[in-house]
Chain A
Amino acid sequence: METLVAFTVGVMAAGSVYLLLSHNLVRVLFGLILLSNAANFVIFAAGGMTEGLPPLIGLGEKALTGVYSNPLPQALILTAIVISFGLLAFALVLVYRGYQELGTVDSDRMRLAEPPHPDQDIPEPEEPGRLHVRDASRRVENLGSPQS
């Protein structure tokens, strides 16, 4: 089972990194969601996976006995889930407010804090916010004015 998980989380991690590398901050957010799920899954599998049998002490007993699933990774994941939710919420608001203030979710064009150096050798990406050709017809559809 754990071997299967190893490959599954590998694919999840690869997918999340691909999303994180996008200059569209919405996709970066997706990458963040995927990455935290992958991380939790890793912690869970690394602690060993046992079917059924949650770590609950039966009535009349004083300690866990017999076969039970490892409680430690579960405690760690519970913390991790909540923290990554907090992180996601903050990042989401940041992107949203950034869009309101700057009118873009393209991280390449958010250069207020670090304006490009006059002779920066890295070329500006070609019109990063450009409409995709296929979408040109749909541009009338305006979702949420940035200053609303």
Chain B
Amino acid sequence: MLSAILGIFVWSLLAPIVARRLPRIAGWVLAVVPAAATVWFVGFVPEIAAGGTVREVVAWIPGLGVNLSFYLDGLSLTFALLICGIGTLIVVYCGGYLHGDPMLPRFFLFILAFMASMLGVVLADNIVSLIVFWELTSVTSFLLIGYLHDSPQSRRSALQALLVTSMGGLVMMAGLILLGLTGGSFELTELVGQGDMLREHPYYLAILILILAGTFTKSAQFPFHFWLPNAMDAPTPVSAYLHSATMVKAGVYLMARLAPTLGGTEVWTVTLVSFGAVTALLGAILAVRQTDLKRILAYTTITALGQLTMLIGIGNTYAVETFTVYLLAHACYKGALFMGVGAVDHEAGTREVTQLGGLLALMPVTAAAIGLAALSNAGLPPFLGFIGKEFMYSSTVGLGEGEMALLGWLATAAMVASNALMIVTAGLVFVKPFLGRRTEAAGHAHEAPVSLWLGPVVLAGIGLGLGVFNGALERWFVAPVAASLTGAPMDVHVYLWGGFTMPLALSAVTVALGAAMYLGWPRVKAALDGIASALGYDSDRGWDRILKGLVRVALLQTRVIQSGYLRHYIMFTIGFTTLAVGGTMVVKGALVAPSLTAAAGAPYSAWALSLIVLASTVAAVMAESRLVAILSLGVVGVVIALIFLLYGAPDVAITQFMVETLVVIIVALVLARLPRLTAFARPDRRSAVRDGVIAVAFGAVVTAVMLAVIDLPIPLDLSEYFAERSYTEGFGRNVVNVILVDFRAMDTLGEILVVATAGLGAFALLKARPRREPPVGDTKTVGDSKPETGDRS
């Protein structure tokens, strides 16, 4: 499986070269590898249908539980087939649709890379590799949506999709890691066994919410649904592939994958069913308000995603069966519709439903494909979509008892309404453009080339075929996916005719309602538009407001924290350190009372030296003369050197004496060329007090840390190690020396490099004298400052 993913990744890198060499047949040539992958995955179908699973592990960072492990069962195989199969058709379609586009080579790179990432998402068994592939799909889809990068609209949509899905992805990452840590494994297959423990765990709710944030954003669930229609700014093949068949289903996939691990609880069912049903209904309502064929399809995709989410939430036998049926049905008809609509757009030059009509005679093949797909979309027999609809009603009606039954009835009502609206959209997509009176825009259209109608025809045909031959569907797909969803093999039955039952009655209602609304479409649309403008809410504009707010907060924060004043930076750094360290010590109870007897028992010499240090420090701080200040600092340094000498550190003392002497001399020399301290105004009272408080607080924290440290026994094992081996292994009697040049020689090398770099930097600064255009004396070069007099006095 890793080889399939890597193969497509490598192929994606080669794609630009192929596309440039063979511009006419690039689509057909590049489809070879996805087609081969499809065939390869088809080969697994019998094995998986027989109840088998395949697992493949490549160690990546085994120490951290991170592996490139892949898992093939009913669920992942179905998704893999959709990704590779539809992907193959899409690549062929791209070759025709974007023929002659100068950026086509790049496009192939993106779409194949996306395919490989998506394949990784559905096959990954390890949580970390899942996250990696998940983010890769976000990035590649950003590139695909923003393909028409000279259009601002397109760029905005790409950024919006990226921000929404990757923010969700980050939240989900937290949830998945929490899941892995709580469940004790980062392999999804191993977590299934921990299901009972996880559902009882106090972290369950947190895990669930965090993960659902990721899946809901990716699968465009309410209230994150707004990015999906905007993503339709991408070229049609992208919409057909990412936003119908694959990427938006990644969220659905993950929820299905985790259903046996996290599902089955009340909160799971209620959340998924209610969000799914609301999303489905909202998508359907918004869909019939559109007149752009692609936008209609985009909103019906939201409906389908909502329905799939709801089905996962319900989780009973019917729901599990419907999930597979509906997943396949939707992928087939939506892929076909998108590609067909793209062909119409390509040939007729418009996607406006109001401008199209009478295309049947002009584009018979495309018409046939769209017609078949639309019938499946409308949920009419004997298409796959019909089975999906029937079973969906069975599942919602049988949701449960008591409050759950109420939820079930609400969901049923929402489904009847949204399915009826789906019939309207099917009518809008097929009946109007193809059967209606021929319009002006349609006048010069003609049949699309084979690359453009192949995909729609194949997918629509599959939708019909699987509906009729539903025995194969049951055995090859429904049963294995049901086993993955519930965690155990189960008895499933898929059929077209279930007798005169409640679902059939609901179906009849749906069709009647849908037909009526289609006939009165202009009035329905006007009414819905009226309601929408009365509500005055628009998620898309809400998003803009959120983004603007975010930018404003960032600006404000930058202005406060990064004010451009050096002392503010220092203040924030020191202040934060003080609070973080001091706060932690207080919270953790790490404060240690000083032992006054120990302090009093220190030798007189130590007291005397300490007092000199204290006095010199105060003098250095208070000094108004540069000379006094630097001499006081020199005294501090020399006294500390004396302490080093007294306490057994002659090497350090000698170095300290030398460096301190150098510092005093050099600084004094330079200071003579700098302004006097008194050239500055004394800080005003307020800032003096503020600085003083920060300084004292920091000093107090240093003392507190120091007291806590000396209260602990000193770990001497390293020192003893050096003491024992200095002579025997380093051949030196001065242990400090041997540590520096032998045991820690690399540190010393680093230190030499640092000093050398500082020296070079200082040298360069002194030597570099850029020629400046305005004369040096021109104070305007100082930016905004006023002419100076004070500093130079």
Contact = CB atoms under 8 A, between A and B. Distances in A.
B651 to A, nearest CB: 6
A19 B602 CA distance: 30
A6 to B, nearest CB: 4
Contact of B735 (A29, A57, A77): A57
Contacts of B643: 41, 44
B17 to A, nearest CB: 44
Given A30-B620, A77-B649, 20 more contacts: A1-B598, A3-B710, A4-B599, A8-B614, A11-B618, A15-B621, A59-B733, A74-B652, A82-B655, A83-B751, A86-B757, A88-B667, A103-B782, A111-B784, A115-B783, A122-B568, A134-B678, A141-B793, A143-B673, A143-B675
B755 A83 contact: yes
B674 A99 contact: yes
Interface in B479-535: none
Contacts, number: 377
Contact of B740 (A28, A79, A90, A111): A79
Contacts of B724: 63-64
Contacts of A142: 792-793
Contacts of A14: 695-696, 698-700, 702
A85 B660 CA distance: 9
- Describe B's contact surface by its main secondary structure: helix
A130 B682 CA distance: 10
A64 B726 contact: yes
A63 B727 contact: yes
Contacts of B726: 57, 63-64
B594 A6 contact: yes
Nearest to B647: A49
B607 interface: yes
B659 interface: yes
Given A120-B563, A142-B792, A75 B699 contact: no
Given A12-B617, A71-B735, A90 B703 contact: no
Contacts of A83: 751, 754-755
Sorted from nearest, which 7 A-B pairs have the closest CB atoms?
Answer: A14-B699, A69-B648, A10-B703, A114-B564, A86-B758, A144-B673, A6-B706
Given A9-B703, A49-B647, A128 B681 contact: yes
A64 B659 CA distance: 29
B777 to A, nearest CB: 7
Interface string B764-793: 011000000000110100111110111111
B313 to A, nearest CB: 49
A8 B709 CA distance: 15
B783 A112 contact: yes
B676 interface: yes
A143 to B, nearest CB: 6
A63 B621 contact: no
Contacts of A15: 617-618, 620-621, 695, 699
A48 B714 contact: yes
Nearest to A99: B674
Given A89-B759, A129-B790, A145-B792, A47 B714 contact: yes
A18 B739 contact: no
21 contacts: A4-B602, A8-B613, A10-B699, A22-B691, A23-B566, A26-B677, A37-B636, A38-B702, A40-B656, A53-B648, A69-B648, A70-B714, A96-B674, A104-B788, A111-B783, A138-B678, A142-B793, A143-B673, A143-B676, A144-B673, A144-B674
A109 B607 contact: no
A126 B686 CA distance: 13
B606 interface: yes
B647 A135 contact: no
Given A37-B640, A63-B727, A71-B735, A116 B784 contact: yes
B156 interface: no
Of A28, A38, A59, chain B has the most CB atoms within 10 Å of the CB of: A38
Interface residues of A, number: 121
Interface of B: 559-560, 562-568, 570-571, 574, 594-596, 598-599, 602-603, 606-607, 610, 613-614, 617-618, 620-621, 626, 629-630, 633, 636-637, 640, 643-644, 646-652, 655-656, 659, 662-663, 666-667, 670-684, 691-692, 694-696, 698-700, 702-703, 706-707, 709-710, 714, 716, 718-719, 722-728, 733-736, 739-740, 744, 747-748, 751, 754-755, 757-759, 761-762, 765-766, 776-777, 779, 782-786, 788-793
Contact of A68 (B648, B667, B694, B783): B648
Contacts of B710: 2-3, 6, 45-46
Nearest to B776: A147
Nearest to B618: A15
A3 B704 CA distance: 10
Given A12-B636, A13-B699, A104-B791, A74 B564 contact: no
A97 B766 contact: yes
Contact of B791 (A8, A90, A129): A129
B647 A111 contact: no
Given A79-B747, A135-B676, A4 B606 contact: yes
Of B647, B666, B670, B761, chain A has the most CB atoms within 10 Å of the CB of: B647
A139 B793 contact: yes
B608 to A, nearest CB: 11
Contact of B739 (A13, A71, A145): A71
A12 B632 CA distance: 12
A3 B648 contact: no
A11 to B, nearest CB: 5
A68 B791 CA distance: 52
A90 B695 contact: no
B446 to A, nearest CB: 59
Contact of A96 (B560, B599, B673): B673
B791 A105 contact: yes
Given A78-B736, A81-B656, A116-B784, A54 B694 contact: no
A97 to B, nearest CB: 5
Contacts of A108: 565-567
Contacts of B733: 56-59
Nearest to A113: B564
Nearest to A84: B659
Contacts of A95: 670, 674
Given A85-B663, A88-B663, A111-B564, A54 B649 contact: yes
B705 to A, nearest CB: 8
Given A63-B726, A68-B648, A69-B647, A5 B706 contact: yes
Given A89-B762, A108-B567, A8 B626 contact: no
A93 B762 contact: yes
A115 B666 CA distance: 32
A9 B319 CA distance: 70
B703 A71 contact: no
Contacts of A72: 718-719, 722, 739
B735 A56 contact: yes
Contact of A55 (B672, B723, B761): B723
Given A10-B706, A92-B666, A144-B674, A30 B694 contact: no
A111 B783 CA distance: 7
A105 B676 contact: no
B574 A17 contact: yes
B687 to A, nearest CB: 8
B355 to A, nearest CB: 49
Contacts of A77: 644, 649, 652
B762 A3 contact: no
A56 B734 contact: yes
A96 B670 contact: yes
Given A21-B567, A74-B649, A107-B567, A7 B594 contact: yes
Contacts of B779: 103
Nearest to A42: B706
A124 to B, nearest CB: 9
A96 B651 CA distance: 32
Given A6-B707, A74-B649, A82-B659, A22 B735 contact: no
Given A71-B739, A129-B791, A97 B765 contact: yes
Contacts of B571: 21
